[in-house]
Amino acid sequence: MRLVYLVLLAGFAMSHDSVARDKPAATALVIHGGAGVISRADIPEQDLDEIHAALDRALTAGEAVLSKGGTALDAVTAAVVVLEDSPFFNAGKGAVYNAEGGHELDASIMEGHSRRAGAVAGVTTVRNPIQLAREVMEHSPHVMLAGEGAEAFADTRSSIVRVARDYFDTPHRLQQLRKAQAEQKSAAVSGPGTYFGTVGAVALDRHGHIAAATSTGGMTNKRWSRVGDSPIIGAGTYATEDCGVSGTGWGEYYIRAVAAHDICARMAYRGDTLAQAADAVINGHIPRLGGDGGAIALDRHGNIAMPFNTGGMYRGWIKPDGSRGTAIFKGD
Ligand code: ASP
Protein backbone atom coordinates (compact mmCIF):
# COMPACT_ATOMS: atom_id res chain seq x y z
CA MET A 1 0.00 0.00 0.00
CA ARG A 2 2.75 2.28 1.02
CA LEU A 3 4.67 1.50 -2.18
CA VAL A 4 1.61 2.27 -4.31
CA TYR A 5 1.29 5.58 -2.56
CA LEU A 6 4.94 6.42 -3.20
CA VAL A 7 4.66 5.47 -6.88
CA LEU A 8 1.54 7.60 -7.24
CA LEU A 9 3.27 10.49 -5.52
CA ALA A 10 6.31 10.21 -7.80
CA GLY A 11 4.02 10.11 -10.82
CA PHE A 12 2.24 13.24 -9.70
CA ALA A 13 5.53 15.05 -9.08
CA MET A 14 6.73 14.15 -12.58
CA SER A 15 3.58 15.23 -14.33
CA HIS A 16 3.56 18.42 -12.30
CA ASP A 17 7.14 19.03 -13.29
CA SER A 18 6.43 18.47 -16.98
CA VAL A 19 3.54 20.93 -16.83
CA ALA A 20 5.91 23.45 -15.26
CA ARG A 21 8.43 22.81 -18.04
CA ASP A 22 5.86 23.19 -20.82
CA LYS A 23 4.52 26.45 -19.53
CA PRO A 24 7.04 28.67 -17.77
CA ALA A 25 5.66 30.61 -14.81
CA ALA A 26 4.43 34.06 -15.72
CA THR A 27 6.76 37.02 -15.39
CA ALA A 28 5.93 40.71 -15.08
CA LEU A 29 7.78 44.00 -15.29
CA VAL A 30 6.80 47.57 -14.47
CA ILE A 31 8.99 50.66 -14.81
CA HIS A 32 8.71 54.38 -14.15
CA GLY A 33 10.58 57.45 -15.30
CA GLY A 34 9.24 59.75 -12.60
CA ALA A 35 6.07 61.50 -11.52
CA GLY A 36 5.54 65.24 -11.43
CA VAL A 37 3.69 68.38 -12.29
CA ILE A 38 3.54 68.20 -16.06
CA SER A 39 1.04 68.79 -18.78
CA ARG A 40 1.04 67.95 -22.46
CA ALA A 41 1.78 71.58 -23.30
CA ASP A 42 5.09 71.40 -21.38
CA ILE A 43 6.70 68.69 -23.48
CA PRO A 44 7.43 68.96 -27.23
CA GLU A 45 5.83 66.21 -29.33
CA GLN A 46 9.24 64.91 -30.43
CA ASP A 47 10.39 64.57 -26.81
CA LEU A 48 7.22 62.65 -25.99
CA ASP A 49 8.04 60.18 -28.76
CA GLU A 50 11.60 59.81 -27.50
CA ILE A 51 10.43 59.31 -23.92
CA HIS A 52 8.04 56.56 -25.00
CA ALA A 53 10.87 54.99 -27.01
CA ALA A 54 13.26 55.08 -24.04
CA LEU A 55 10.64 53.52 -21.75
CA ASP A 56 10.09 50.84 -24.37
CA ARG A 57 13.83 50.13 -24.60
CA ALA A 58 13.95 49.74 -20.82
CA LEU A 59 11.06 47.25 -20.97
CA THR A 60 12.84 45.33 -23.70
CA ALA A 61 16.06 45.18 -21.66
CA GLY A 62 14.22 43.83 -18.60
CA GLU A 63 12.13 41.44 -20.63
CA ALA A 64 15.22 40.02 -22.36
CA VAL A 65 16.41 38.89 -18.93
CA LEU A 66 13.05 37.56 -17.71
CA SER A 67 12.18 35.64 -20.87
CA LYS A 68 15.43 33.65 -20.62
CA GLY A 69 14.59 32.63 -17.07
CA GLY A 70 16.89 35.30 -15.59
CA THR A 71 16.39 36.85 -12.19
CA ALA A 72 14.17 39.76 -11.24
CA LEU A 73 17.31 41.39 -9.84
CA ASP A 74 19.05 41.28 -13.24
CA ALA A 75 15.87 42.47 -14.96
CA VAL A 76 15.40 45.58 -12.81
CA THR A 77 19.11 46.40 -13.06
CA ALA A 78 19.00 46.13 -16.88
CA ALA A 79 15.84 48.26 -17.14
CA VAL A 80 17.14 50.99 -14.82
CA VAL A 81 20.51 51.18 -16.61
CA VAL A 82 18.68 52.01 -19.87
CA LEU A 83 16.75 54.79 -18.13
CA GLU A 84 19.89 56.10 -16.38
CA ASP A 85 21.62 56.34 -19.76
CA SER A 86 18.76 58.34 -21.29
CA PRO A 87 19.07 62.14 -20.91
CA PHE A 88 15.28 62.43 -20.58
CA PHE A 89 15.18 61.13 -17.02
CA ASN A 90 16.45 62.49 -13.74
CA ALA A 91 18.89 59.66 -13.11
CA GLY A 92 22.40 59.04 -14.44
CA LYS A 93 22.84 61.13 -17.62
CA GLY A 94 20.26 63.92 -17.38
CA ALA A 95 20.22 64.06 -13.57
CA VAL A 96 19.10 67.36 -12.07
CA TYR A 97 21.62 69.90 -10.78
CA ASN A 98 22.19 70.65 -7.13
CA ALA A 99 22.51 74.26 -5.90
CA GLU A 100 26.25 74.27 -6.61
CA GLY A 101 25.75 73.29 -10.24
CA GLY A 102 26.84 69.66 -9.71
CA HIS A 103 25.04 66.31 -9.58
CA GLU A 104 24.65 63.97 -6.62
CA LEU A 105 23.10 60.65 -7.49
CA ASP A 106 21.15 58.25 -5.28
CA ALA A 107 20.04 54.68 -6.00
CA SER A 108 18.83 51.53 -4.26
CA ILE A 109 17.92 47.95 -5.08
CA MET A 110 16.23 45.16 -3.14
CA GLU A 111 15.50 41.49 -3.68
CA GLY A 112 12.27 40.40 -2.01
CA HIS A 113 12.61 36.75 -1.02
CA SER A 114 16.14 37.14 0.38
CA ARG A 115 15.56 40.68 1.74
CA ARG A 116 19.00 41.60 0.44
CA ALA A 117 19.38 45.30 -0.32
CA GLY A 118 21.98 47.81 -1.43
CA ALA A 119 22.02 51.60 -1.78
CA VAL A 120 24.24 54.56 -2.56
CA ALA A 121 23.68 58.25 -1.89
CA GLY A 122 25.39 61.35 -3.22
CA VAL A 123 27.70 59.72 -5.76
CA THR A 124 29.24 61.98 -8.38
CA THR A 125 31.35 59.93 -10.81
CA VAL A 126 29.47 56.65 -11.19
CA ARG A 127 27.82 56.38 -14.58
CA ASN A 128 25.16 53.90 -13.41
CA PRO A 129 24.47 54.30 -9.69
CA ILE A 130 22.06 51.34 -9.69
CA GLN A 131 24.98 49.05 -10.49
CA LEU A 132 26.95 50.46 -7.57
CA ALA A 133 23.94 49.95 -5.26
CA ARG A 134 23.90 46.33 -6.38
CA GLU A 135 27.64 45.99 -5.75
CA VAL A 136 27.05 47.30 -2.22
CA MET A 137 24.42 44.59 -1.78
CA GLU A 138 26.49 41.77 -3.22
CA HIS A 139 30.06 42.71 -2.36
CA SER A 140 30.01 44.61 0.91
CA PRO A 141 28.69 43.78 4.37
CA HIS A 142 26.59 46.96 4.26
CA VAL A 143 23.28 48.19 2.86
CA MET A 144 24.02 51.86 2.22
CA LEU A 145 27.14 53.85 1.38
CA ALA A 146 27.24 57.62 0.90
CA GLY A 147 29.37 60.34 -0.69
CA GLU A 148 33.16 59.94 -0.63
CA GLY A 149 32.90 56.52 0.98
CA ALA A 150 30.67 55.26 -1.80
CA GLU A 151 33.13 56.67 -4.36
CA ALA A 152 36.01 54.91 -2.55
CA PHE A 153 34.04 51.65 -2.61
CA ALA A 154 33.41 52.19 -6.34
CA ASP A 155 37.21 52.46 -6.79
CA THR A 156 37.44 48.85 -5.60
CA ARG A 157 34.82 47.49 -8.03
CA SER A 158 36.26 47.02 -11.52
CA SER A 159 32.84 46.56 -13.13
CA ILE A 160 31.73 50.08 -12.19
CA VAL A 161 32.14 52.57 -15.02
CA ARG A 162 33.37 56.00 -13.86
CA VAL A 163 32.79 59.26 -15.68
CA ALA A 164 33.86 62.88 -15.38
CA ARG A 165 31.38 64.89 -13.30
CA ASP A 166 30.25 66.89 -16.33
CA TYR A 167 29.08 63.68 -18.05
CA PHE A 168 25.77 64.21 -16.23
CA ASP A 169 25.31 67.79 -17.55
CA THR A 170 22.41 68.53 -19.91
CA PRO A 171 21.20 71.95 -21.12
CA HIS A 172 17.56 71.37 -20.14
CA ARG A 173 18.44 70.51 -16.52
CA LEU A 174 20.70 73.57 -16.33
CA GLN A 175 17.78 75.68 -17.47
CA GLN A 176 15.64 74.11 -14.72
CA LEU A 177 18.28 74.97 -12.13
CA ARG A 178 18.47 78.59 -13.30
CA LYS A 179 14.67 78.82 -13.17
CA ALA A 180 14.48 77.26 -9.69
CA GLN A 181 17.19 79.58 -8.43
CA ALA A 182 15.46 82.63 -9.91
CA GLU A 183 12.20 81.60 -8.26
CA GLN A 184 13.73 80.77 -4.93
CA LYS A 185 12.37 83.25 -2.44
CA SER A 186 13.15 81.56 0.86
CA ALA A 187 15.95 79.45 2.31
CA ALA A 188 13.86 76.28 2.03
CA VAL A 189 15.13 73.45 -0.14
CA SER A 190 13.24 72.36 -3.22
CA GLY A 191 9.49 72.01 -3.05
CA PRO A 192 6.90 70.27 -5.18
CA GLY A 193 7.27 70.47 -8.92
CA THR A 194 11.04 70.86 -8.78
CA TYR A 195 11.55 67.17 -9.40
CA PHE A 196 10.51 64.86 -12.17
CA GLY A 197 12.15 61.95 -13.84
CA THR A 198 13.46 59.63 -11.13
CA VAL A 199 13.51 56.11 -12.58
CA GLY A 200 12.60 52.71 -11.20
CA ALA A 201 11.69 49.14 -12.03
CA VAL A 202 9.99 46.22 -10.32
CA ALA A 203 10.04 42.69 -11.73
CA LEU A 204 8.63 39.23 -11.04
CA ASP A 205 10.76 36.43 -12.46
CA ARG A 206 10.00 32.87 -13.47
CA HIS A 207 11.15 31.60 -10.08
CA GLY A 208 8.43 33.68 -8.41
CA HIS A 209 10.98 36.16 -7.03
CA ILE A 210 10.46 39.92 -6.91
CA ALA A 211 13.05 42.73 -7.06
CA ALA A 212 12.73 46.51 -7.05
CA ALA A 213 15.17 49.29 -7.98
CA THR A 214 15.16 53.10 -7.99
CA SER A 215 17.69 55.69 -9.22
CA THR A 216 17.61 59.49 -9.14
CA GLY A 217 19.44 62.79 -9.25
CA GLY A 218 17.10 63.94 -6.46
CA MET A 219 15.63 67.43 -6.47
CA THR A 220 16.76 70.42 -8.52
CA ASN A 221 18.67 73.02 -6.52
CA LYS A 222 19.15 70.70 -3.53
CA ARG A 223 21.67 71.72 -0.90
CA TRP A 224 23.54 70.42 2.10
CA SER A 225 23.99 66.92 0.66
CA ARG A 226 20.23 66.49 0.75
CA VAL A 227 19.21 62.85 0.33
CA GLY A 228 15.68 61.89 -0.68
CA ASP A 229 13.72 58.67 -0.43
CA SER A 230 15.11 56.92 -3.51
CA PRO A 231 18.17 55.35 -1.84
CA ILE A 232 16.33 54.62 1.41
CA ILE A 233 15.14 51.04 1.70
CA GLY A 234 11.52 51.13 2.82
CA ALA A 235 10.93 54.71 1.65
CA GLY A 236 11.71 54.75 -2.10
CA THR A 237 12.33 51.04 -2.70
CA TYR A 238 11.09 47.88 -1.04
CA ALA A 239 10.49 44.23 -1.86
CA THR A 240 9.28 41.11 -0.10
CA GLU A 241 8.31 37.68 -1.41
CA ASP A 242 4.81 39.06 -2.09
CA CYS A 243 5.34 42.66 -3.15
CA GLY A 244 7.81 45.07 -4.78
CA VAL A 245 7.66 48.88 -4.96
CA SER A 246 9.62 51.78 -6.46
CA GLY A 247 8.46 55.29 -5.64
CA THR A 248 8.85 58.69 -7.21
CA GLY A 249 7.79 62.00 -5.76
CA TRP A 250 8.56 64.53 -3.08
CA GLY A 251 11.10 62.45 -1.21
CA GLU A 252 10.78 64.06 2.21
CA TYR A 253 7.17 62.81 2.36
CA TYR A 254 8.04 59.35 1.09
CA ILE A 255 10.64 59.06 3.84
CA ARG A 256 8.21 60.14 6.57
CA ALA A 257 5.51 57.83 5.23
CA VAL A 258 8.00 54.96 4.71
CA ALA A 259 5.95 54.73 1.55
CA ALA A 260 7.32 51.67 -0.27
CA HIS A 261 7.32 49.55 2.88
CA ASP A 262 3.85 50.74 3.82
CA ILE A 263 2.43 49.44 0.55
CA CYS A 264 3.87 45.96 1.18
CA ALA A 265 2.94 46.06 4.88
CA ARG A 266 -0.71 46.86 4.11
CA MET A 267 -0.84 43.75 1.96
CA ALA A 268 0.87 41.59 4.58
CA TYR A 269 -0.89 42.85 7.70
CA ARG A 270 -4.28 44.02 6.46
CA GLY A 271 -4.75 41.64 3.57
CA ASP A 272 -5.15 44.55 1.14
CA THR A 273 -4.81 43.80 -2.56
CA LEU A 274 -1.84 45.42 -4.29
CA ALA A 275 -4.13 47.99 -5.89
CA GLN A 276 -5.78 48.91 -2.58
CA ALA A 277 -2.47 49.19 -0.74
CA ALA A 278 -0.77 51.29 -3.43
CA ASP A 279 -3.80 53.54 -3.76
CA ALA A 280 -4.10 54.08 0.01
CA VAL A 281 -0.48 55.24 0.27
CA ILE A 282 -0.13 57.26 -2.94
CA ASN A 283 -3.61 58.78 -3.18
CA GLY A 284 -4.38 58.78 0.56
CA HIS A 285 -1.53 59.01 3.03
CA ILE A 286 1.06 60.98 1.01
CA PRO A 287 -1.31 63.77 -0.13
CA ARG A 288 -2.81 63.98 3.38
CA LEU A 289 0.68 64.69 4.70
CA GLY A 290 1.09 67.40 2.01
CA GLY A 291 3.33 65.49 -0.41
CA ASP A 292 2.83 64.26 -3.94
CA GLY A 293 4.15 61.70 -6.41
CA GLY A 294 3.52 58.16 -7.57
CA ALA A 295 4.76 54.58 -7.37
CA ILE A 296 4.97 51.39 -9.35
CA ALA A 297 4.29 48.09 -7.63
CA LEU A 298 3.69 44.45 -8.40
CA ASP A 299 2.74 41.34 -6.44
CA ARG A 300 3.73 37.68 -6.76
CA HIS A 301 0.83 36.97 -9.11
CA GLY A 302 2.11 39.62 -11.51
CA ASN A 303 -0.62 42.15 -10.72
CA ILE A 304 0.66 45.65 -11.41
CA ALA A 305 -0.28 49.00 -9.83
CA MET A 306 0.91 52.42 -11.05
CA PRO A 307 -0.90 55.09 -9.00
CA PHE A 308 0.14 58.77 -9.04
CA ASN A 309 -1.42 61.95 -7.73
CA THR A 310 0.45 64.33 -10.05
CA GLY A 311 -0.22 65.48 -13.62
CA GLY A 312 1.70 62.56 -15.02
CA MET A 313 4.05 59.67 -14.43
CA TYR A 314 6.29 58.21 -17.10
CA ARG A 315 5.57 54.51 -16.93
CA GLY A 316 5.67 51.21 -18.77
CA TRP A 317 4.63 47.62 -18.13
CA ILE A 318 4.68 44.08 -19.41
CA LYS A 319 1.93 41.98 -17.85
CA PRO A 320 2.05 38.21 -17.29
CA ASP A 321 -0.09 37.75 -20.43
CA GLY A 322 2.65 39.50 -22.43
CA SER A 323 0.67 42.67 -23.11
CA ARG A 324 2.87 45.76 -22.84
CA GLY A 325 2.57 49.51 -23.01
CA THR A 326 3.98 52.89 -22.07
CA ALA A 327 2.12 55.97 -20.83
CA ILE A 328 2.78 59.45 -19.50
CA PHE A 329 -0.38 61.34 -18.55
CA LYS A 330 -3.49 60.47 -16.58
CA GLY A 331 -5.91 58.41 -18.64
CA ASP A 332 -3.21 57.43 -21.19
N1 ASP B 1 11.86 61.00 -4.95
C2 ASP B 1 12.99 61.70 -5.51
C3 ASP B 1 13.66 62.49 -4.42
O4 ASP B 1 12.99 63.06 -3.59
C5 ASP B 1 12.60 62.63 -6.61
C6 ASP B 1 11.70 62.04 -7.67
O7 ASP B 1 11.07 61.03 -7.46
O8 ASP B 1 11.62 62.62 -8.76
O9 ASP B 1 14.87 62.58 -4.43
Rg (CA), the chain: 20
Ligand 1 pocket test: which of 195, 221, 309, 315 has the largest number of ligand atoms within 8 Å of its C-beta? 195
pLDDT tens profile 46-99: 989 999 999 999 999 999 999 999 999 999 999 999 999 999 999 999 999 999
Which residues span the domain enclosing 131?
A: 25-329
pLDDT tens profile 103-130: 999 999 999 999 999 999 999 999 999 9
C-alpha of 280 from chain center = 19
Active site residue 198: yes
Q: Is the CB of 200 under 6 A from ligand 1?
A: no
Task: Say how far apart CA 67 and CA 54 lie, in whole Å.
Answer: 20
Task: Indicate whether 167 belongs to any domain.
Answer: yes
Provide the pLDDT for residue 150.
Answer: 98
Provide the pLDDT for residue 5.
Answer: 52
Beta-strand relationship, 199-204 and 304-305: unpaired
Q: Is the CB of 214 under 6 A from ligand 1?
A: no
pLDDT category of residue 186 using cuts at 50, 70 and 90: low
Asked whether the CA dihedral 108, 273, 331, 53 is positive or negative, the reply is positive
Whole-prediction pTM? 0.91
Task: Indicate whether 60 belongs to any domain.
Answer: yes
Task: Say how far apart CA 110 and CA 236 lie, in whole Å.
Answer: 11
Task: Indicate whether 12 belongs to any domain.
Answer: no
Q: What percent of the chain has a predicted confidence (pLDDT) above 70? A: 89
DSSP class of 269:
I
Task: Indicate whether 87 belongs to any domain.
Answer: yes
Task: Indicate whether 35 belongs to any domain.
Answer: yes
Active-site pick, 27, 124, 194, 198: 198
Residues 304-315, mean pLDDT to the nearest whole number: 96
Q: Which of the residue ranges 41-45, 298-302, 328-332 has the most confident prediction, judged by mean pLDDT?
A: 298-302
* Residue 102 to residues 130, 148, 155, 231, Cα–Cα distance (Å): 19, 15, 20, 18
Provide the pLDDT for residue 154.
Answer: 98
Task: Read off the CATH number of the domain in which 122 is found.
Answer: 3.60.20.30
Task: Indicate whether 81 belongs to any domain.
Answer: yes
Task: Say how far apart CA 125 and CA 140 lie, in whole Å.
Answer: 19
Task: Indicate whether 2 belongs to any domain.
Answer: no
pLDDT category of residue 14 using cuts at 50, 70 and 90: very low
pLDDT tens profile 254-298: 999 999 999 999 999 999 999 999 999 999 999 999 999 999 999
Task: Indicate whether 9 belongs to any domain.
Answer: no
pLDDT tens profile 192-236: 455 678 999 999 999 999 999 999 999 999 999 999 999 999 999
Q: Is the CB of 219 under 6 A from ligand 1?
A: yes
